[in-house]
C-alpha cells in the first residue's frame, strides 16, 4: 500500500481481537499501533454482538476505540456506543422486505434449531442456536432457504458459526455489505480495505477479494480461505496476528 493511502481496517471482535481466555495476545500492542496510525487508518469493528454487548467488551479493555461499529451481523452501523449514533440510511436499507416472517414459519419445524432470544433478532436477520450441529440440520435449512428463493422471487442466505449459531439473512445482509457501504461513504476504495476474522460468520467479508487477515486461531470452518488470493494467514493468534500483517504491509 502507498504510504499516503487511507485504509479502512475492519476487524471482528471475538477471537480476532478479543481473546481473553488466552490473555488477549497482542491486543495492547495493536492498540498502540492503531493510535500511532489514526490519521491514516479508519478502524471499524464488525461483530455478531449487539451494540450494548460490544460496549461491554470495550469497557473491559484494552479494545481500542473504533471509529465505526458494525453490530448484530451487519444489521446496524454506528459511530458510537449509543443508539442515537446509528446510521439511519443503513437502517432504512436493512428494513427492506425479504420474506423474514415466511422463512421463520418454514423453519419452525426443523428439529435441532432453536430461535435465539428476542434481543438478538432484527428485521434483517433470523438468529438461531444449533442444538444439533449435524450436517443434516444445515442441509435441511439450506434446502428450505433454496426453495424459498426459487419460489418467492426474493433471496436469503445462511451464515453459521462455530457449530453453535445460525443466522438467516437477506441477500444484502451479512458482514460484507456494511463494509462496502462504509467504504463508499468515506470515499475509501475497495483496494484499501483490510478485513480480519476468525470464524464462520466472518466469511461474508473475507471472500470478497479484499485484503484479508485470517488469524492463526481461526476455526476449521474457514480453513479453505487460506488458499485464496489476498488472504494472509498469520502465524500469531488474534490481535497479534492482525498486527503481524499490519506491520508488514502498512508503511
Ranges for all domains in the chain classified under CATH 3.40.50.1000: 7-93+174-249
pLDDT at residue 4, rounded to an integer:
64
Q: Which three cell numbers stand for residue 28?
A: 495492547
Kindly tell me the sign of the dihedral angle through the C-alpha atoms of 8, 13, 18, 21: negative
pLDDT of residue 2: 59
Q: How far apart are CA 180 and CA 32, in angstroms?
A: 26
Distance from C-alpha of 118 to C-alpha of 35, rounded to nearest angstrom = 37
Would you report the helix, strand and coil content of the chain in percent, each value rounded to 5?
Answer: 40, 20, 35
Q: What global pTM score does this model have?
A: 0.93
Bridge partners (DSSP) of residue 215 are none
- For strand 76-78 and strand 68-71, is the pairing parallel, antiparallel, or unpaired? antiparallel
Residue numbers in the chain where pLDDT is lower than 50: none
pLDDT in tens, 217-249: 999 999 999 999 999 999 999 999 999 999 999
pLDDT of residue 50: 93
> What's the CATH superfamily of 7-93+174-249?
HAD superfamily/HAD-like (3.40.50.1000)
For the stretch 131-145, pLDDT in tens is 987 889 999 999 999
- Predicted local distance difference test score (pLDDT) of residue 58: 85
What is 97-170's CATH number, 3.40.50.1820, 2.102.10.10, 3.30.70.2190, 3.90.1070.10?
A: 3.90.1070.10
Quick one: pLDDT at residue 169? 95
Q: Which residue intervals of the chain bear CATH 3.90.1070.10? A: 97-170
pLDDT at 62: 76
Amino acid at each position: 500500500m502507498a504510504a499516503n493511502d487511507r485504509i479502512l481496517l475492519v476487524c471482528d471482535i471475538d477471537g480476532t481481537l478479543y481473546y481473553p481466555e488466552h490473555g488477549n495476545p497482542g491486543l495492547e500492542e495493536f492498540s498502540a499501533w492503531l493510535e500511532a496510525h489514526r490519521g491514516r487508518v479508519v478502524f471499524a469493528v464488525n461483530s455478531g454482538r449487539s451494540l450494548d454487548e460490544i460496549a461491554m467488551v470495550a469497557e473491559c479493555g484494552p479494545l481500542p476505540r473504533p471509529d465505526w461499529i458494525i453490530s448484530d451481523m451487519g444489521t446496524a452501523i454506528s459511530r458510537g456506543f449509543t443508539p442515537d449514533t446509528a446510521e439511519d440510511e443503513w437502517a432504512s436499507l436493512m428494513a427492506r422486505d425479504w420474506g423474514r416472517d415466511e422463512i421463520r414459519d418454514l423453519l419452525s419445524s426443523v428439529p435441532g434449531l432453536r430461535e435465539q432470544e428476542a434481543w438478538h433478532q432484527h428485521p434483517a436477520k433470523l438468529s438461531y442456536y444449533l442444538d444439533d450441529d449435524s450436517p443434516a440440520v444445515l442441509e435441511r435449512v439450506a434446502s428450505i432457504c433454496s426453495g424459498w428463493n426459487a419460489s418467492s422471487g426474493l433471496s436469503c442466505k445462511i451464515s453459521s458459526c462455530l457449530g453453535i449459531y445460525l443466522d438467516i439473512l437477506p441477500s444484502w445482509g451479512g458482514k460484507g455489505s456494511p463494509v462496502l457501504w462504509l467504504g463508499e461513504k468515506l470515499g475509501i476504495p475497495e483496494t484499501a480495505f483490510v478485513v480480519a476474522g476468525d470464524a464462520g460468520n466472518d466469511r461474508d467479508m473475507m471472500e470478497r477479494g479484499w485484503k484479508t487477515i485470517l488469524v492463526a486461531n481461526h476455526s476449521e470452518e474457514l480453513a479453505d480461505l487460506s488458499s485464496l488470493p489476498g488472504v494472509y494467514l498469520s502465524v500469531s493468534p488474534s490481535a497479534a496476528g492482525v498486527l503481524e500483517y499490519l506491520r508488514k504491509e502498512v508503511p
